[in-house]
Structure 1
Amino acid sequence: MARDAVPFDAAFDPAEERTLADALARIIGDRDIVMLGESSHGDGASIRLRGRLVELLHRRFGFDVLAFEADFWSVTRGWNDVSRPEQIRPFAQTNIYDFWGRAPAVDGLWAYVETVFRAGGRLDVCGFDCRLKGAIARGGVVDVLRPVATAVGLPDDAFEAFVRGYAALQSAEFDAPPEPAVQEAYFAALARFVSLLRRDDAAPGDVGGQILAELASLDAWARFAWLGHSRDEAMAANLGWLIRHRYPGRKIIVWAHNNHILKDSSVYLDVRDKGPAAQIAAMTDAQKTALSYVGAVTSRAFPDRVCAIATTLGRGQFSALSHKALDGSEIDFSVTRPVPPQAPDSLEAELLNRGSEAALIDFSGLAHDDFFRSRLLDLSFSAEAPYGRGYDAAIYLRDGDGLA
């Protein structure tokens, strides 16, 4: 694979690049959902690169929706209220996770979105994460839903049960789940709310359809935080709603972690290394069956439409505190750690030995049982796995750097 990798300039000009664009055209084909991943949220080099990839996909391939692994409510609703280019960065900084909304590494992406907006072009932004960590959701969910609840006849005590549960999610999430009675009342209130909306025959795609999707996501967030249910299933449901109802007929770029864009859960289940293999062996058959990823669920829902492209690093640095941004906090981008040393038999080590600065690796020729070692699942560990089942391609960058 390393021998056949397509080298390119990591600092390419999206308006001029030809080699990478031609290679991507062969990999993407006529698929209209392209998922771009990163092996760490602290990987500033891959974030900068993907900003240029968004511009290339928009300019050359006509992709005009950018869907983030970020707050479904805040980003999707909030984008409707962005009417001037100067509103874009403040919107991103307060509603998208810090490593993608505020970090200097993402400046190029937001500068391009501003440029498109200023020129009257179209590049819409949305989010699909069930975890509501943006400013708009923190301050607005209850205020938006209260008059809707009143209009459809949801009793006040049921709505207040929802308010209590939502407050618990915002204040503690995983750290201090509320008492079971509060959880049960929250779920019951949402179920009744949904039933009343459906009684009024709200059609998907209109205001009621969006609220139905948002209520389902609010239910899924609590089940993830309190009961350990799948976040990926919830995110995939939100992404599916966006594809079907908010942006039908549009070409969509999905921006997420490598792990979430996997198109086949067997990539992880078949990992051969001791650490992950021990965890997998401890899983029940039901847990293995239920294991899901956004990429896998979306690929099943939209056959032959999804292309997943992961990224990986050879050496350098990455920002060490990116995980702290997942609770909605601002982080210090300047705190870095070295990229872990590569295993001698890994894809990254071979590309390092070849001196490649940046390269695109096409996995389309791999067989179902072709295993190789890489850090594609996550920068924190190297694993031997059948990556070709889960990704259509990977982009390798030799030199990693932080978010600052």
Structure 2
Amino acid sequence: MFLFQPGFSQVKEYIIKHTTPVREADFNTTNDADLLPIEKAIGNKRIVMLGELYHGDGEELRLKSRLVRYLHEHMGFNVIAFESDFFSLNHGWEAFKKNKISLDSLLYLSVFPVWTQCMQANDLFQYINNNAGKLRITGFDNRGISGYGMRHLKRSIDGFLREQQVSFTTHPSYNTFITAIGRTPWILNGNNREALDSLLKLMPIVIEQVSDPFYLHVLKGLLINYTLALHYRYNKERKDHPQHDFQMAENLKWLASDKFANEKIIIWAHNSHVEKGPLENVTHRSYNSMGYYFSQDPQLAAQTYTIGLTCYEGTGGLTISDVTEKVTKPHKKSIESWIHSMGYPYAFTDLTFQQEEDLYYMKTYINTASELPWKKFYDGILYVREAKPCLKK
């Protein structure tokens, strides 16, 4: 303990020295000087990953939303990539550009309701609508079929495969395959084992015959969805599987390296997906994260600044559930406790110059914490003193 304490004191000293207050989370504030330290920390990086501790913390969403506005208006970030339906937010954006759907409808149908139905995120989505010609929207999550996907996925894939004259369209099982695609939401819920087995058998054949990068990512994502459905619905394997985060990383790599190769991109997701630390010694998940897979590309890693979010106290609650969850008291040797001692309602800590081996506690979810070398997971931390449940619109 005598040898450990001085090192620990140095970690605490670093956190306090490199933490700056964020005055407020009000989206419409006219004074953004308190966000200058975040701009300085990000520097010339063109990709910013914004995590969140809990999908149901309205205060985190307010703070994130304000930062998105700042990144767009002051730093030129012009793409927002949501942890939401990859197919819908890419195919749907093209439909929006052709005036086939309103942006408001596309967002409502495609972005997960934990955000679109949270009143504290309302300013963000209104801002996106108001800046449709300047901000571009995309998504990278392969899991979950949105309302837009339910309407267009089957017809879009069928039209593409026929237009490209993919040989499988003449296969005797093609109609069975494309019909099952249209029933994907029900199949994923475990309602048709025969159709699931058919898709698991036929999808790899189709993938081998497709070269278009967008549809290749769509089809690979669907295959992972069907594989996970087999694990969760039939084999009853409740453990986490790495395919989801792996495919999200593949989708995001394509977006960042090809589709938006020359753009500045904001990634909107959960902490557990954006964190870039390796699985080694991690107790809060049993798989490598999207951020880890993404950062294995040295060029992309060098272009990315990853921000985790955390909070000290309060209560969170999802808009899709009436259940609220109280934030447990942080460990006394945690970044939350140290920042709380400074009295800030919101704050930012830059971890850029911290030693990679420095260990301390931080929350990994609303009511759990882990002692890890957090510099390996995030480049910076946004802090909220009091979490507040999302309010339903």
Measure, in 2, the Cα distance between the counterparts of 1:113 and 1:231: 27
The residue type equivalent to 1:77 in the other structure is H
TM-score by length of 1: 0.82
Change (3 A) 1:63 1:295: same
Partner of 2:350: 362
Shift of 1:391: 0.1
Moved runs in structure 1, 4+ residues, more than 6 A?
none
Shift of 1:14: 6.3
Change (3 A) 1:53 1:177: same
Change (3 A) 1:214 1:172: closer
Give the conservation status (yes or no) of the 8 Å contact 2:190–2:229. Answer: no
Partner of 1:187: 200
Identify unmatched segments of 5+ residues in structure 1. 199-207, 281-290, 323-330
Measure, in 2, the Cα distance between the counterparts of 1:46 and 1:370: 26
Identical aligned residues as a percent: 24
Identify unmatched segments of 5+ residues in structure 2. 1-14, 232-240
The residue type equivalent to 1:56 in the other structure is Y
Partner of 1:30: 44
Measure, in 1, the Cα distance between the counterparts of 2:21 and 2:119: 26
Measure, in 1, the Cα distance between the counterparts of 2:310 and 2:302: 25
Map 1:303-318; keep pairs closer than 5 Å.
303-318=301-316
Answer yes or no: is 1:210 the counterpart of 2:214. Answer: yes
Map 1:1-400; keep pairs closer than 5 Å.
1-11=15-25, 13=28, 16-21=31-36, 23-82=37-96, 87-117=102-132, 121-150=133-162, 151-154=165-168, 155-163=170-178, 165-166=180-181, 169-173=184-188, 176=190, 179=193, 182-198=195-211, 208-227=212-231, 228-266=241-279, 269-271=280-282, 276=283, 291-301=287-297, 302-319=300-317, 321=318, 331-332=320-321, 335-375=323-363, 377-400=364-387
| 1:98-125 CA-partner distances (Å, limit 9, x unpaired) | 11122212111112112212xxx41111
Say how many residue pairs are matched.
360
| 1:99-155 CA-partner distances (Å, limit 9, x unpaired) | 1122212111112112212xxx41111110011321111122111122333332323
Greater displacement, 157-166 / 24-33 = 157-166
Greater displacement, 66-75 / 185-194 = 185-194
Give the conservation status (yes or no) of the 8 Å contact 2:107–2:116. Answer: yes
| 1:150-170 CA-partner distances (Å, limit 9, x unpaired) | 332323543344346546641
| 1:4-28 CA-partner distances (Å, limit 9, x unpaired) | 310121235565312322x122321
Change (3 A) 1:292 1:178: farther
Measure, in 1, the Cα distance between the counterparts of 2:274 and 2:378: 8
Partner of 1:325: none
Give the conservation status (yes or no) of the 8 Å contact 2:21–2:346. Answer: yes
Q: Give 3-state SS (helix, strand or coil) of 1:340's partner.
A: coil
Measure, in 1, the Cα distance between the counterparts of 2:307 and 2:88: 26
Give the conservation status (yes or no) of the 8 Å contact 1:177–1:226. Answer: no
| 1:62-102 CA-partner distances (Å, limit 9, x unpaired) | 11000011000111211222357x93333222211111122
Give the conservation status (yes or no) of the 8 Å contact 2:200–2:227. Answer: no
TM-score by length of 2: 0.84
Measure, in 2, the Cα distance between the counterparts of 1:371 and 1:293: 20
Change (3 A) 1:19 1:105: closer
